[in-house]
């Protein structure tokens, strides 16, 4: 493998086959999905094919910012390793940096705690204050589905689908303990975000590359920047 010292761009590490999205991922239920299509957009498919043909080593990935919000102990950390404010007041000064520039917002609730479902609209409203309307894919995810008997799960899902419709979100029920729907959900998120990013680049006249996004900062960088700004505002 060549490195940058020789003027060469190194190949990124290979992706394991179980993480490759071979087909367009299907929704969890058509009753709570705004994307009912079954295949990739033809323009996105053509751009990916061209990128593969050119064999450019850097054209392997596209980054999108995903924000995960929800009450404390609803299963966000088990679902995904995320920075979690849990609504704590001490994080209010840097929460805006966490929300800003999101391509995907995932609102999470505990299916065994119906009160956490009632709070999801408030979490989404807070996250959307830092983003343009209709700029994000929104998902409503119920965790710990394995804890509910079938009838209770069906009732909870019915309530969740109603909330998801109001939020213009796509609903999924998952279980981190059993792994039920977890991979399918994240494949769905990745596919929709990737396709939207590709199409947006082409609409703006930008090259349809599949390289790293250059406008997305890491959460650590955003939080450090927000903390510095907050320190300046509070400093005498």
Task: Quote the percentage of the chain above a pLDDT of 90.
Answer: 44
Does residue 116 lie in a domain region?
A: yes
Instruction: Assign residue 167 the CATH number of its domain.
Output: 3.40.50.300
Give the integer Cα–Cα distance in Å for 189 and 182: 11
pLDDT per residue as tens digits for the range 46-72: 877 776 544 444 444 567 889 999 888
Determine whether 204 is exposed, middle or buried from the number of CB atoms within 10 Å of its CB (0-12, 13-18, 19+).
exposed
Determine whether 108 is exposed, middle or buried from the number of CB atoms within 10 Å of its CB (0-12, 13-18, 19+).
buried
Q: Where are the beta strands (DSSP E) in 13-90?
A: 66-70
Mean pLDDT of all residues belonging to the chain? 78
Task: Output the pLDDT for position 149.
Answer: 96
Closest CA to 163 of 102, 120, 222: 120
Task: Output the pLDDT for position 230.
Answer: 55
Give the integer Cα–Cα distance in Å for 67 and 91: 15
More confident residue, 144 or 1: 144
Task: Output the pLDDT for position 226.
Answer: 54
What is the arithmetic mean of pLDDT over 24-37? 93
pLDDT at 154 over 60: yes
Give the pairing of strands 104-110 and 137-143: parallel
Task: Output the pLDDT for position 22.
Answer: 86
pLDDT at 115 over 60: yes
Q: What is the pTM of this model?
A: 0.76
What is the arithmetic mean of pLDDT over 156-169? 96
Does residue 30 lie in a domain region?
A: no
Task: Give me the residue label for tokens 């990737």.
Answer: 194
Confidence of residue 1 (pLDDT cuts 50, 70, 90): very low
Task: Give me the residue label for tokens 């069906």.
Answer: 154
User: Of the spans 39-43, 84-88, 228-232, which averages the highest pLDDT?
Assistant: 39-43
110: left (phi over 0), alpha (psi -120 to 50) or beta: beta
Does residue 91 lie in a domain region?
A: yes
Task: Output the pLDDT for position 48.
Answer: 77
Confidence of residue 139 (pLDDT cuts 50, 70, 90): very high
pLDDT at 164 over 90: yes
pLDDT at 43 over 60: yes
User: Structural domain of residue 134, as residue ranges?
Assistant: 60-205
Rounded to 5°, the CA angle 106-21-215 comes to: 55
Task: Quote the number of domains for the chain.
Answer: 1
Task: Output the pLDDT for position 166.
Answer: 95
Task: Quote the percentage of the chain above a pLDDT of 70.
Answer: 69
pLDDT per residue as tens digits for the range 191-227: 999 999 888 878 876 554 443 334 444 444 554 555 5
More confident residue, 55 or 17: 17
Task: Output the pLDDT for position 61.
Answer: 56
Does residue 49 lie in a domain region?
A: no
Say if residues 87 and 108 touch (Cβ distance below 8 Å): no
DSSP states along 163-200: HHHHHT-EEEE--TTT-TTHHHHHHHHHHHHHHHHHHH
C-alpha neighbours within 13 Å on the C-beta side of residue 222: 18
- The torsion angles phi and psi of 109, rounded to 5 degrees, stand at -140, 160
């Amino acid at each position: 493998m060549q490195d940058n010292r020789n003027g060469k761009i190194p190949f990124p590490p290979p992706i394991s086959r179980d993480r490759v999205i071979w087909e367009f991922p299907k929704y969890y239920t058509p009753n709570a999905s705004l994307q009912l299509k079954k295949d990739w957009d033809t323009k996105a498919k053509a751009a990916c094919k061209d990128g593969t043909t050119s064999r450019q080593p850097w054209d392997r990935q596209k980054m999108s910012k995903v924000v995960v919000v929800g009450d404390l102990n609803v299963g966000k950390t088990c679902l995904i390793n995320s920075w979690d404010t849990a609504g704590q007041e001490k994080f209010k000064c840097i929460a805006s940096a966490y929300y800003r520039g999101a391509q995907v917002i995932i609102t999470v609730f505990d299916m065994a705690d119906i009160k956490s479902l009632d709070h999801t609209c408030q979490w989404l409203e807070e996250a959307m204050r830092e983003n343009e309307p209709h700029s994000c894919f929104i998902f409503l995810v119920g965790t710990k589905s394995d804890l509910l008997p079938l009838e209770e799960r069906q009732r909870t899902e019915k309530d969740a689908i109603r909330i998801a419709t109001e939020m213009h979100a796509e609903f999924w029920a998952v279980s981190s303990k059993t792994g039920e729907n977890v991979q399918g959900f994240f494949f769905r998120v990745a596919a929709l975000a990737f396709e939207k990013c590709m199409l947006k680049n082409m609409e703006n006249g930008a090259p349809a590359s599949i390289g790293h996004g250059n406008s997305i900062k890491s959460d650590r960088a955003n939080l450090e920047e927000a903390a510095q700004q907050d320190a300046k505002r509070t400093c005498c």
